Structure 1
Amino acid sequence: MEDYRINKENGLEFGLYSLGDHMPNALTGKRVSAKERIDQIVAEAKLAEEAGLDFFSVGESHQKYFVGQAHAVILGAVAQATAKIKIGSSATIVSTSDPVRIYENFATLDLLSNGRAEIIGGRASRLGLFDLLGYNVNDYEELFEEKFELLLKINENHRVNWEGNFRAPLKDAEVLPRPLNDKLPIWRAVGGPAESAIKAGLQGVPMTITLLGGPLPIFKRSIDAYRQSLKMKSYNPSDFPVATTGFFYAADDTKTALRELYPYVDQGMKLANGTGYHKRLFANGADMNDVMLVGSPQQIIEKMIYQYEELGHQRYLAQIDFGGMPFEKVMKNIEIIGTKILPEVKKYTKGK
């Protein structure tokens, strides 16, 4: 597991992820400038490091209401503003980018950050970028699988010979620069279905699985399938970490947390995906068996520990700046994580 820069002796890693959301405040309708929004993301990363969090990531998006189109550039600013926190993508859309350019960008980021960069490679959940970047959405699956395999091959080999369907062949190609320690941690992003989790296991790569809402057993089945598929390829599952991601919001109590968060999540889903979050389904987030981490600090601690026991994952990434969530509320939540939640979660999971 040390190959992926995760030491289980330090307990469950806690990180943040941002999609580069640039939406108006769901309650006031006001929206900051693109510059201010990018500055906010860098400030969130700085505070996350000060609060003792382990990881900070920015996702790639190519549509209205986002500023994360050049997410590697934003992460470069994060690298310069921080000193210790690990940084990465959440996710890099491998399907519509050239793997050579992805590797060049993140190897450079790794050098800038003194060996802190990681890649989470994913497929697009929003499909408009295929036309924008010149790809055919009908090649959705084939584009990702071929390009992700090439990205992994570049990471493993100093010189690459490769031929596929979507780009010119590589003949004894040397991809430079190399990362600080020669290789990058490259994770596969999974939306939840077991089929995608199985593919991650068969490839022998760590998995980041999205848990936006719903009963925990559904996602446990996918994680179990991932580990079983690792075994099928004679990999040791304990060598491959699992990260979970999802909505997070802390307040005085669960009722208040759900009430305050809902307008932002609902608006964010509408603007990003065209459909809001059903209010009754969202209310299920109060249940201990629902994957959403929303409530009082103590309730979130109990739920995180419960999920840790059930899933056996090594990293959790909280999405706390979605739907135009006010910057001051985001920063307050980072403070709560650092002072109230993280110490208890680390104490319980350390050394397990």
Structure 2
Amino acid sequence: MAAKLMRAVRYDRYGGGTKDLKHVEVPIPTPKKNEILLKVEAISLNPADWKMQQGALRPLCPRKFPHIPGMDVAGEVIEVGSSVKDFKAGDKAVTYLGLRIGGGLAEYVVAEESMTVARPPEVSAADAAGLPIAAITAYEALVDSSGIKLDGSGKLVNVLVTAASGGVGHYAVQLAKLGNAHVTATCGARNLDFVRSLGADEVIDYKTTDKAALKSPSGVKYDIVIHCTTGIPWSTFEPNLSAKGKVIDISPTFIAYLIYIKAKLLTFSKKQLVPMIAHSKRENLDFLVNLVKEGKLKTVIDSKYPLSKAEDAWDKSIEGHATGKIIVEP
């Protein structure tokens, strides 16, 4: 298998954007003993993919050049390493490839068994590929950072989700509703009805002047904010929080960490800005795949592109106005 070639899309340096993406033919990789070779059926793009190309994570990511981007992949198992126990050729799977490694924008990819889960027939490749980064981030923000119980057994909490029509946001709204939450959500005017259809109790058009303060239309104070965008200062959130309210910042900046430390050390307020970096776990991905299987969670797909048009998908992601997930299919 390793002697054969596959189509892939890669870049050779930081910067350059879409024009530096190159269509190439490279050898099909060979799985190591703990790895699985997948024939790729769907890849989900995330902002981290193009931000990494811009150098946002240098020098840690990419690990080396040339780099094939793409971290969220669903596909069919073609070959397994000698230590792999849970998969065999012909199985359907979804995997998270990791920030440093990537490799998704290709016809084949190797994935570690430790971050790969089975994909049941009820879950399409595209629906599964949307989950690894975006849905896991939403899950960890709500469950691990906020303590919400997704079986609905917890007390009623008021949750605000910013950028609720985006990749992480549209999952966060759905998961919060599973967790006995009253959900207020922000989005652009064109997506108000869409976000309501996800289950949001109240929706705020973030562009209107009177709503820029993020006040709930019903006057509730937020116990939890799942902050899925940038550019909103702590001073906007703080007056809208309950006495022990938390803002879970999924894309924290250096300033966010300073605010977090200052609040801990210099004030007596129990309101918090909590910087969060997702730690993708296999068991969380498996849980989310099963929610999709059961019809309790859905991946909303903004658009699909063939691998030959990966540049168009890249541009769409950079624009930042996708409703749900952007999918590439070889």
TM-score, length basis structure 1: 0.29
More helix by share: 1
Q: Which has the higher contact order (CA 8 A, sep 6+)?
A: 1
Larger radius of gyration between Structure 1 and Structure 2: 2
More strand by share: 2
TM-score, length basis structure 2: 0.30
